[in-house]
């Protein structure tokens, strides 16, 4: 059957940073939305929502609706129903799809790491086999339904989305982050997901940052959905807004999620330190952080350290306005009450880089600081925060 090879739309915005729309991910979400008609829901996609606030989701559903009861979509539905019970998410699938060649080509563009989350049989029994079957079915759907034609015909929309997001991506911050953390990555890949269904709501969006392996080294990646609801027009060609012109969200996500790439791997070797301090996650601290949906000490610590890096990177850039904005946002608005003492301590790192060449080398000092705290100290910080709020 003849088909159109769409190919990933990609724009390089600095030497190491690219922003793209990935064929595999867009194909997956078109198929997932059709599958939801049979299984009811999957992550944010729901059978009873028309998603008219997201143009690609809405018009793809109309365009491909005739395939809803096809054998390929029925097979994808059954696979996703099984995976839903195991994964409870689709991030593991999306990460895997970023290793695959662009549909409809089979195989991999990069070697798949041994620790790929989807292939973790201990944590997700049976997910690897289902993931491979899902990919085969997605390629079949891409070919039979001529997904490439749809994507190519709406290239202007995807390019518009990239242009909107690009305006707000703080690529200039990345070299400063590398210097501050004392480490770097081979590349930084940002992927837009215009086809990802997001429940209606002004503050609703989704993003996550997988770490990808490549022959050149580790790649810090981020995938993110649209974050602005749009009024429904009669066709995709009529849109002049694309759902990604959100300065606050895009600026936050690109710096914040990349920050996780620097922080999260370092904490893997500090499991005992983290467990040692779990009582510091008091009910009062949990209440302070409820807007950020933080439920345990490990996540609390990670999120504090990532936000610490954001603030200090802005300071290193000489951007006093952004430094103040981030400090106010994270400490006063979202209740990350440990940031003041962490900022005070981190000056030792910043002022003595010969002794501490990277953030990893200074982490033990931060754990010493935390080890010296007691739950009552945490509650006192929460109380002080409320008093000055």
Looking at residue 255, its pLDDT comes to 85
Residue 18: is its pLDDT beyond 50? yes
Q: Report whether 89 contacts 96 (CB < 8 A).
A: no
Give per-residue pLDDT as tens, 42-64: 999 999 999 999 999 999 999 99
Q: Quote the percentage of the chain above a pLDDT of 70.
A: 97
Confidence of residue 6 (pLDDT cuts 50, 70, 90): low
Residue 154 CA neighbour count, 13 Å, CB half: 26
| Angle made by CA atoms 57, 62, 68, in degrees to the nearest 5 | 95
Residue 266: is its pLDDT beyond 70? yes
Token code pair at residue 30: 């078109």
Which residues have a Cβ under 8 Å from the Cβ of 42 and sit 6 or more positions away? 32, 35, 36, 80, 84, 90
| Average pLDDT estimate for 3-10 | 62
Token code pair at residue 335: 């209740």
Residue 289: is its pLDDT beyond 70? yes
Looking at residue 252, its pLDDT comes to 81
Give per-residue pLDDT as tens, 199-239: 998 889 998 889 999 999 999 999 999 999 999 999 999 99
Distances (CA, A) of 74 to 47, 71, 91: 15, 5, 21
- Which secondary-structure segment (H or E) carries 225? strand 219-225
Confidence of residue 389 (pLDDT cuts 50, 70, 90): low
Residue 5: is its pLDDT beyond 70? no
Give per-residue pLDDT as tens, 331-355: 999 999 999 999 999 999 999 999 9
Confidence of residue 260 (pLDDT cuts 50, 70, 90): very high
Average pLDDT, rounded, for the chain = 94
| Angle made by CA atoms 308, 312, 316, in degrees to the nearest 5 | 165
Looking at residue 292, its pLDDT comes to 87
The better pLDDT of the pair 140, 3 is held by 140
| The CA-based dihedral angle spanning residues 236, 238, 241, 242, taken in that order and rounded to the nearest 10 degrees | 10
Cα 57 to Cα 54: distance, rounded to the nearest angstrom? 6
Cα 250 to Cα 3: distance, rounded to the nearest angstrom? 34
Looking at residue 335, its pLDDT comes to 93
Q: Report whether 221 contacts 189 (CB < 8 A).
A: yes
Confidence of residue 4 (pLDDT cuts 50, 70, 90): very low
| Average pLDDT estimate for 284-309 | 94
| Average pLDDT estimate for 275-289 | 95
Which residues have a Cβ under 8 Å from the Cβ of 124 and sit 6 or more positions away? 86, 87, 92, 117, 118
Cα 30 to Cα 36: distance, rounded to the nearest angstrom? 10
Helical ranges in the chain per DSSP H: 23-39, 55-64, 71-87, 91-97, 127-144, 147-153, 155-166, 173-181, 247-263, 271-276, 283-288, 297-316, 320-327, 339-350, 359-371, 375-388
Cα 75 to Cα 39: distance, rounded to the nearest angstrom? 12
Provide the sign of the torsion angle of the four alpha carbons 265, 270, 271, 275, taken in this order.
negative
Looking at residue 253, its pLDDT comes to 81
Cα 193 to Cα 226: distance, rounded to the nearest angstrom? 7
Confidence of residue 29 (pLDDT cuts 50, 70, 90): very high
Token code pair at residue 334: 């979202």
pTM of the model: 0.90
Give per-residue pLDDT as tens, 351-363: 999 999 999 999 9
């Amino acid at each position: 059957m003849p088909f159109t090879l769409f190919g990933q739309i990609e724009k390089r915005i600095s030497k190491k940073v690219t922003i793209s729309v990935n064929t595999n991910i867009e194909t997956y979400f078109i198929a997932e939305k059709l599958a939801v008609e049979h299984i009811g829901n999957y992550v944010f996609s729901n059978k009873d929502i028309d998603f008219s606030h997201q143009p690609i989701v809405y018009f793809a559903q109309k365009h491909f609706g005739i395939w809803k009861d096809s054998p390929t979509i029925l097979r994808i539905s059954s696979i996703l129903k099984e995976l839903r019970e195991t994964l409870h998410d689709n991030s593991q699938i999306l990460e895997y799809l970023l290793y695959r060649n662009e549909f409809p080509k089979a195989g991999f563009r990069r070697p798949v790491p041994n620790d790929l989350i989807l292939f973790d049989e201990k944590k997700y029994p049976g997910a690897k086999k289902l993931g491979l079957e899902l990919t085969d079915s997605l390629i079949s759907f891409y070919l039979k339904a001529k997904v490439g034609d749809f994507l190519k015909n709406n290239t202007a929309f995807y390019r518009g989305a990239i242009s909107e997001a690009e305006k707000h991506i703080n690529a200039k911050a990345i070299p400063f982050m590398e210097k501050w953390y004392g480490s770097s990555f081979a590349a930084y890949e940002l992927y837009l997901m215009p086809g990802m269904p997001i429940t209606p709501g002004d503050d609703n969006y989704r993003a996550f940052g997988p770490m990808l392996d490549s022959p050149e080294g580790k790649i810090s990646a981020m995938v993110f959905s649209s974050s602005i609801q749009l009024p429904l027009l009669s066709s995709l060609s009529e849109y002049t807004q694309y759902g990604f012109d959100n300065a606050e969200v895009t600026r936050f996500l690109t710096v914040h999620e990349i920050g996780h790439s620097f922080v999260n791997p370092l904490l893997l070797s500090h499991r005992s330190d983290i467990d040692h301090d779990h009582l510091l996650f008091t009910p009062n601290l949990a209440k302070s952080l409820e807007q950020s949906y933080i439920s345990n000490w490990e996540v609390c610590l990670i999120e504090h350290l990532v936000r610490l890096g954001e603030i200090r990177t802005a300071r290193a850039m000489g951007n006093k306005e952004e430094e103040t904005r981030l400090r106010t946002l994270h400490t006063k608005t979202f209740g990350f009450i440990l940031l003041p003492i962490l900022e005070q301590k981190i000056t030792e790192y910043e002022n003595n880089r010969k002794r501490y060449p990277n953030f990893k080398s200074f982490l033990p000092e931060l754990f010493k600081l935390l080890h010296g705290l007691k739950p009552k100290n945490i509650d006192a910080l929460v109380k002080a925060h409320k008093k000055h709020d």
